[in-house]
């Protein structure tokens, strides 16, 4: 009788694999929450920059730097979390890398740093390509299991849409509109250049 109770008790205990999966799912949920908080701060930073509020550049650059770090972590996290679907894991890693490059391009654009056109032309083709891949994957594999579906939409599709909106806003207004505050440290380009060379004389991708 005692042996049967012990066997039944052991059978009711969760397996090691299930426990690890639950812990990883909980971590992903917390990770996604931090991701959305950082995106919210980025929006606050853009609004502050638009109205010339002191500290807007710091809030924007800080939040975007946090997003860069999070998506760099997500490149590797995609393989650990979506180990059952290698193609989705690979797509998640490539998408996260594309998001990193795109966020760098937006930082350069909003801060009006020297060389933002070059950074943008490097990031834009990959952003478009990965966006098409996400659309094709969504169209072909509509029925994903709930954890994978949540990761696909919350951590890939929504950030891509968020980037599209920020990029659209960046080109609807002149860069001077977002750089009215006096913040010489953050406004200075990380790439040294002469003042005459730093001016955008091409008119490319400039919103009027």
Please report the pLDDT score of residue 176 as a whole number: 77
C-alpha separations of 10 from 21, 48, 117, 122 in Å: 19, 58, 62, 56
CB 76 within 8 A of CB 93: yes
pLDDT 10s digits, 140-193:
766 666 677 788 889 999 999 999 999 999 888 877 778 776 555 555 556 565
pLDDT 10s digits, 122-144:
999 999 999 998 888 877 766 66
pLDDT 10s digits, 14-49:
566 567 667 777 888 899 999 999 999 999 999 999
The band of 97, judged by pLDDT with boundaries at 50, 70 and 90, is very high
| Cβ neighbours of residue 67 closer than 8 Å, sequence gap 6 or more | 35, 38, 39, 42, 99, 103
| Per-residue b or e along 27-50, where b marks 16 or more CB atoms closer than 10 Å to that residue's CB | ebeebbeebeebbebbbebbebbe
Please report the pLDDT score of residue 198 as a whole number: 47
CB 152 within 8 A of CB 144: yes
């Amino acid at each position: 009788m005692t042996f049967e109770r012990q066997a039944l008790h052991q059978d009711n205990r969760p397996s090691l694999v299930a426990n690890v999966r639950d812990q990883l799912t909980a971590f992903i949920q917390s990770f996604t929450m931090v991701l959305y908080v950082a995106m919210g701060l980025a929006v606050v930073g853009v609004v502050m920059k638009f109205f010339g509020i002191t500290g807007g550049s710091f809030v924007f650059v800080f939040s975007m730097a946090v997003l860069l770090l999070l998506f760099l972590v997500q490149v590797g996290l995609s393989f650990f979390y979506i180990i059952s679907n290698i193609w989705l894991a690979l797509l998640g890693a490539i998408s996260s890398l594309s998001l990193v490059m795109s966020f760098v391009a937006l930082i350069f654009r909003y801060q009006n740093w020297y060389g933002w056109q070059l950074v943008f032309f490097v990031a834009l083709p990959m952003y478009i390509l990965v966006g098409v891949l996400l659309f094709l994957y969504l169209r072909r594999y509509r029925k994903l299991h709930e954890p994978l579906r949540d990761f696909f939409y919350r951590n890939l599709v929504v950030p891509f849409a968020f980037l599209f909106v920020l990029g659209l806003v960046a080109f609807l207004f002149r860069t001077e509109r977002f750089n009215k505050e006096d913040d010489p440290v953050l406004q200075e380009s990380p790439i040294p250049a002469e003042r005459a060379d730093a001016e955008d004389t091409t008119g490319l991708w400039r919103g009027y």
